[in-house]
Structure 1
Amino acid sequence: MSSSESTSQTTGERARRERRRSNSLLLVLAVGFLVFGAAAGGLYYALRPDILRIAVGPPGSDDDKVIQAMADAFGAESRTIRLLPIKTDGAVESLALLGAGKADLAVGRGDLDMPVEAQTVAVVRKNFVVLWAPSGPTGKNSKGKLAPKIKEVADLAGRRVGVIGRTPANAALLRVILSASGVEADRVVVTHFGTNQTEELARDPTIDAFMAVGPLDSKVTSDAVAATARVRGEPKFLAIETSEAIALKHPQYESEEIPPSVFNADPARPGDKVETVSVSHLIVARKSLPETTVAAFFRQLFAVRQAIARQVPGAAHIAKPDVDKDTELPVHRGAAAVIDGTERTFLDRYGDYFWFGLLLLSGIGSAAAWLRRYLNRDEREETTSHRNRILAMVSSARTAGSNQDLLVLQREADAIILETLECYDDGAIEEEELAAFGLVLGLFSNAIAERRAALQRANLETVRGRPRREDEATI
């Protein structure tokens, strides 16, 4: 092969290798962008906050104010959970949205009809039943005589009770109390008053007793008790002596006590503790809501509770549900895990995914290595061809007739070495292949050196001529 032909072939091989290198670079870039896009998408998905829809109502109520303050606090401080309040006309409508799957959370009273999937996450507040009767004049009975004063729940038979709050749930609760106390509920007339009608309630002479359902520090209850005391005389608080039986029969209610002087200190109202029942307003979630999501919401809720209580005093009543108590509405597993300290760690939840990810990365690495070898198959074939060519050049070197022939072989070998090193730099050949190429190159170098030395000796003998023998010198 002539020098020009060898140079032309080398130039063509380099051009083909440059094209393959460009194609390989484009492929690597494409795969890199794909991996980067997948990683960025996964990171965005992992870090983006979960938006939970929470149904609450009516607008302007204590529950609505607490949830709105909670949503604002979550938006300002949280990166995990966001709340999207959905305004409704009341707790019944909120629970209906939860049951229909149009809300993730809802605020409702524990004695309302709950959706099948509803589970407790947190207690918004505990509402105490407060029953009292005036010590002043009462209404007349059916015979036109003044009715005797009311001293206990059983005396409410045939009387009229003014209930604060227009929700039917309060009247239903009163019927439960009356039935447990041996009073036929149909014999008691219930009149509803709005929470802003405490004065009208106190001045209505047809009302024999009063009922309020709310937190013990409720301004509505305190104002109602004070108004009736001012108009009708000091109140007689009626103990619900069957509270424990009610709680056993109806798990949504609890047996409680109203502490002395909670509504007024001078005079003390009540003068002594009073047995009663309570019902809780709850934040409930769908059972299908992920455990990790509910746990994150639960932790954030109690992290911001004190902050939102400074804005909305009612938030101070937010409490953890009792996971040890058998209730009609179970506690969601996400909230229960945080309360019990059994919440699974990050590795517990995603350990299997990590192992799967490692296996997947290993598979991707193997596939990438195979792809690289496949794309570089031409370079490996060229390397093998170059190695065989140098082996052939070893034989040519040993029979070269002149130093000029050796120089041509050396130049061709230099070009092959350059191409082989470029392939190695590109990752087309492995170190083992380069080592094998090095062994062949060593043979070639030795053959060149040996043949050059032999040619030099031959040249010296030609220049000097053959040395004369002693017998020839004496003739």
Structure 2
Amino acid sequence: MFIVIAGILAVVGALTGAYYFAMRPVVLKIAVGPPNSDDLKVVQALTQAFSQSHASVRLRPVPTEGAAQSAQALAAGKVDLAIVRGDLEVPKNAQAVATLRKNVAVLWVPPGGKGKGRKGAKITKISQLAGHKVGIIGRTPANANLLKVILHQYGVDASKVEIVQVPITEAAEAVRNQRADVYLAAGPINSKITADAIAAATKDGGTPTFLAIDSAEAIAQNHPEYESTEIPAGAFGGSPDRPEDEVKTISFNHHIVARKGLSDSTVSAFTHQLFSVRQQLLSEFPLAAKIETPDTDKDAAIPAHPGAAAFINGEEKTFLDRYSDYIWWSLMALSAMGSAGAWFAGYLKRDERTINTSLRDRLLEMITIARKCDSTEELDQLQAEADEILRNTLTCFEDGAIEHAALTAFNIALEQFHNAVADRKLILMSMPANLQRTGAQLRAAGT
């Protein structure tokens, strides 16, 4: 019994421990950068929202210098999640969880001044950029690579274009001071950084010229990380609208990716939380509205994580779905331990059962002896022996050595013994004493 109880407690403890470890919050480290960027602000807002809602998955931001460094941290296994830029090299162990935002490339020529070009001709096409200076908003090398991809598509030698990269914090001032002929910004359509830079270019009046990337489809065909898109009229405000008409351009995404080995259930729970709190953040952080589901097609540029795909396709597994096999095997183990415990307990009681069986056989023999007794003294001795057998039998029953059916059989035998003793005493009491002695002597002589 002690062994069975110990086994039950062990199984219950194991199930309790498994439930605790399955339900405790999982903390995921997410690499994001650069510091003070909108991406970092979004992640910080998500971290706070998950904590306040006591979600099962929590975030721990790991600031980096940029998307490239975040990708390296994921590739090295230092973090669980990362914000990466789709047009940079994506780690082989990265799988998409969500699209954080879509960025568009914006090329514009400031009105007046250097905007007319060093050779006097106003710049209206990308093919005219040779021999001019292009100012890139942001210090990341990825934007310079983006410009080179565009120039290559139009047959412009990148070595003949002077590239000047300016920090985001100095973008408006650089544009205002006309440090370049043309400017390139890459960010969301509603990016305040891009809008402020364009506004700075038109502070003294005039309308900037937006350069369309008419070969956007061709670029997307040759570079799957890019897509063809359009900047809607009036996207950057102003009067007249900036731009006045739709402008064709290319776009790329910033993704939230997870390392390949991360648990499907954890990623599924994170994805569920991500899209659940997105609406809550819109009022105080509009950029959260840009979070979208990833491409779950098998030929996607970044394959979707199975956990994220399960959430998107409505195939999430519940607690019972994930752990039903463990629960079933635990119950089977508990049943096996109970059976083994019962067998072991019976094995320990085998000697006691054997003795009780011999005592019952002895009681049956005593019924025959009682019917032939010639004196009440002998019957009294048999009665005393039967009392002792009864005591031993009850002790065996209390110890579990015999079952209720065996006790019932013993009661029948004991009742027959009492009847035999009572019948024999009536017979002896009706016989004269001398006949009792004679019968006893004859039986003694025959023996």
TM-score where L is the length of structure 1 = 0.83
Deviations 1:135-191 (A, max 9, x none): 3122686xxx65211112112121111111111101101111111122222221111
* Contact map agreement 1:202 1:232 (CA 8 A) in 2: no
Q: 1:129–1:212: 8 Å Cα contact kept in structure 2? A: yes
1:325 is displaced (CA, Å) by 7.9
**Residue in structure 2 matched with residue 108 of structure 1 by the alignment:** 84
- Alignment-derived partner of residue 446 in structure 1: 416
Structure 1 386/461 Cα, relative in aligned 2: closer, same or farther at 3 Å? closer
On the 8 A contact 2:97/2:304 being kept in 1, the answer is: yes
Aligned counterpart for 1:290 among listed residues 263, 268, 282: 263
Structure 1 240/441 Cα, relative in aligned 2: closer, same or farther at 3 Å? same
Find 2:95's aligned residue among 106, 119, 137.
119
Is 1:89 paired with 2:65? Answer: yes
Question: Are the aligned partners of 1:251 and 1:327 in contact in 2 as well (CA < 8 Å)?
Answer: no
Local SS of the residue matching 2:168: coil
**How has the CA–CA distance of structure 1 residues 457 and 376 changed in structure 2, closer, same or farther, with 3 Å as cutoff?**
closer
Distance 1:412 1:333, change over 3 A: same
The equivalent of 1:19 in structure 2 is none
Secondary structure of 1:173's partner?
helix
Task: Read off the aligned partner of 1:41 and give its amino acid letter.
Answer: G
Query: CA 1:113–1:37 in 2, change beyond 3 Å: closer, same or farther?
Result: same
1:245 to 218, 225, 233: 218
* Contact 1:202–1:231, Cα closer than 8 Å, also in 2: no
Q: Name 2:187's counterpart in structure 1.
A: 214
1:273 and 2:246 matched: yes
Residue 192 of structure 1 corresponds to 165
Does the 8 Å contact 2:104/2:187 carry over to 1?
Answer: yes
Question: Which residue identity lines up with residue 379 of structure 1 in the other structure?
Answer: E
Q: Matched residues in 2 for 1:42 and 1:149: separation? A: 70
Separation in 1, partners of 2:377, 2:195: 118
Distance 2:316 2:18 in 1: 24
1:52 and 2:52 are equivalent in the alignment? no
2: distance between equivalents of 1:441 and 1:206? 113
Relative to structure 1, the CA distance from residue 385 to residue 257 in structure 2 (aligned partners, 3 Å threshold; closer, same or farther) is: same
Contact 1:160 1:208 in 2 (8 A): yes
- Alpha carbon RMSD of aligned pairs, Å? 2.6
Report if the CA contact (8 A) 1:393-1:444 is conserved: no
Q: Report if the CA contact (8 A) 2:189-2:235 is conserved.
A: yes
> 1:154 maps to what in 2?
127
* Structure 2 residue identity aligned to 1:277: I
Q: How does 1:257-268 map onto structure 2 within 5 Å?
A: 257-264=230-237, 266-268=239-241
Matched, 1:334 2:278: no
Unpaired stretches in structure 2, ≥5 consecutive residues:
436-447
> 1:247 Cα shift?
1.2
Q: Does the residue aligned with 2:432 lie in a helix, a strand or coil?
A: helix
Residue 70 (1) aligns with residue 46 (2): yes
The worse-fitting range, judged by mean Cα deviation, of 448-457 and 213-222 is 448-457
Aligned partner (choices 180, 196, 205) of residue 223 of structure 1: 196
Distance 1:83 1:429, change over 3 A: farther
**Mean alpha-carbon deviation: is it higher for 376-385 or for 43-52?**
376-385
Q: In the alignment, which of 416, 430, 446 is matched to residue 460 of structure 1? A: 430
Q: What amino acid maps onto 2:409 in structure 1?
A: L
Please give the alpha-carbon distance, in whole angstroms, between the structure 2 residues aligned to 1:107 and 1:309. Answer: 20
CA contact (8 A) 1:120 1:284 kept: yes
Distance 1:444 1:460, change over 3 A: same
Q: Structure 1, residues 64-86: CA drift from partner, whole Å, max 9, x if none?
A: 12112212222222442122222
CA distance in 1 between counterparts of 2:116 and 2:193 reads 28
Distance 1:420 1:48 in 2: 54
Q: Distance in 1 between matches of 2:133 and 2:335?
A: 79
Is 1:130–1:237's contact at 8 Å kept on the other side of the alignment? Answer: yes
| Contact kept in structure 2, 1:135 and 1:149, CA below 8 Å | no
In the alignment, the residues of structure 2 paired with residue 101 and residue 246 of structure 1 have an alpha-carbon distance, to the nearest angstrom, of 33
1:43 to 19, 39, 42: 19
Change (3 A) 1:445 1:174: same
1:48 maps to a residue whose letter is R
Counterpart of 1:308 (choices 272, 281, 293) is 281
Q: Render the CA deviation track for 1:422-450: whole Å, top value 9, x for unaligned.
A: 54344333344x2xx43343233223213
Q: Distance in 2 between matches of 1:118 and 1:415?
A: 81
Using the TM superposition, give the Cα deviation of residue 265 of structure 1 relative to its aligned residue in structure 2, in angstroms: 5.1
Aligned residues: 434
1:413 is displaced (CA, Å) by 3.5
Change (3 A) 1:290 1:392: same
Greater CA drift, 214-223 or 63-72 = 63-72
CA distance in 2: counterparts of 1:37 and 1:357, whole angstroms: 11
Listed one character per residue, the Cα deviations across residues 377-417 of structure 1 (whole Å, up to 9, x for unaligned) are 34323432332332343334334445565455445444544
AA aligned opposite 1:155? Q
- 3-state DSSP class of the match of 2:282? helix
Give the counterpart letter for 1:67 in structure 2: V
Contact persistence 2:373–2:424 (CA under 8 A): no
Moved more, 310-319 or 341-350: 341-350
In 2, Cα distance between the equivalents of 1:279 and 1:400? 111
Deviating beyond 6 angstroms after TM superposition, the runs of 4 or more aligned structure 1 residues are: none
- 2: CA distance, partners of 1:121 / 1:151: 40
* 1:65 alignment partner AA: K
Q: Does the 8 Å CA contact 1:161/1:210 hold for their aligned counterparts?
A: yes
| Compared CA separation, residues 30 and 354, structure 1 to 2 (3 A) | closer
Q: Deviations over 1:240-286 (max 9, x none)?
A: 11111111111111111111111115321111111111111111111
Shift of the 400–235 alpha-carbon distance from structure 1 to 2, 3 Å rule, reads farther
Task: Give 1:470's aligned residue.
Answer: none
| Distance in 1 (alpha carbons) for counterparts of 2:383 and 2:48 | 80
User: Is 1:183 aligned with 2:156?
Assistant: yes
User: Structure 1 residues 89, 446: closer, same or farther in 2, change over 3 A?
Assistant: same
Tell me, in whole angstroms, the C-alpha distance in 2 between the residues paired with 1:425 and 1:163: 91
Q: Distance in 1 between matches of 2:71 and 2:314?
A: 29
Q: For 2:384 and 2:53, locate their aligned partners in 1 and report how far apart those are by CA, in whole Å.
A: 72
